[in-house]
Amino acid sequence: MGTAPFIETVGESLDNATAESVMGLFKTELHRNPAPLADNGDHWRELDDLEVATCAWVSWFNEERLHGELGDRSPGEVEAEYSLSDQVKAA
């Protein structure tokens, strides 16, 4: 028994929900949070300001943020640990 498509293809509705969840985090943490705005000197002045901040946020989100499901470690730490253990197994 497999998964039946909900909208168009299998997994698409889950992909949409994940994207919406990440966009909600992005809006809350970068756009509405006063700390990044203070670092920028107030609201984004130009599209370039927002683009640079977005790149920094994506890098932080993917590499540095502490994640409860990863034992309060960053994805970067877990990736490095996995890579090291994979090399040990191969040797």
Entry pTM? 0.55
Instruction: Tell me the pLDDT tens digit for each residue of 11-25.
Output: 555 567 777 777 777
Band (pLDDT 50/70/90 cuts) for residue 3 is low
Please state, in angstroms and as integers, the Cα–Cα distance from residue 11 to each residue in 7, 8, 17, 31, following that order: 9, 9, 10, 29
Each residue of 23-55: pLDDT tens digit?
A: 777 777 777 777 766 766 666 677 787 788 788
| Residue 85 phi, psi (nearest 5) | -70, -30
Cβ neighbourhood burial of 90 (10 Å; 0-12, 13-18, 19+): exposed
**Cα(48)–Cα(28) distance, rounded to whole angstroms?**
19
Domain ranges of the chain: 14-90
Diameter of the chain by CA atoms?
A: 56
